[in-house]
Amino acid sequence: MSRYFTEDHEWVDVDGDIGTVGISEYAQSQLGDIVFVDVPEDGKALSKGDEAAVVESVKAASDVYSPVSGNVLEGNSQLADDPSLVNSDAEGEGWFFKITLSDPSELETLMDETAYEAFVAKL
């Protein structure tokens, strides 16, 4: 499995043609305590860069953008009951949605973990 990041702090884990999307540890730390997450509906078609989800914290509400194009397979239903999963495990159980990649070449425009760490270090 390969993990890629966007400059907007989304990540996508890719396994075959399935991507699992969430926000980075850095993003959740900037947001603070997360109180609500709205994930996309199953079957929703997304293009790279589309608003896919909303995350609200005690500080602010932020859009989460799709790092790749495709169709949503499922949203993480656990986040409705326990949005704090994003705080406790942003890059694991706190994932937002799974998507079927329609154009895997889009991954070439994203950063790998090393490049993302360097990007965050400059912020």
Give the mean model confidence (pLDDT) for residues 30-40: 97
Q: How confident is the model at residue 20 (pLDDT cuts 50, 70, 90)?
A: very high
How distant, in Å, are the alpha carbons of 9, 62, 77, 82, 108 from that of 117? 11, 21, 29, 28, 17
Query: What is the pTM for the complete model shown?
Result: 0.97
Query: Domain 2-103's class?
Result: mainly beta
**Distance from C-alpha of 45 to C-alpha of 16, rounded to nearest angstrom:** 19
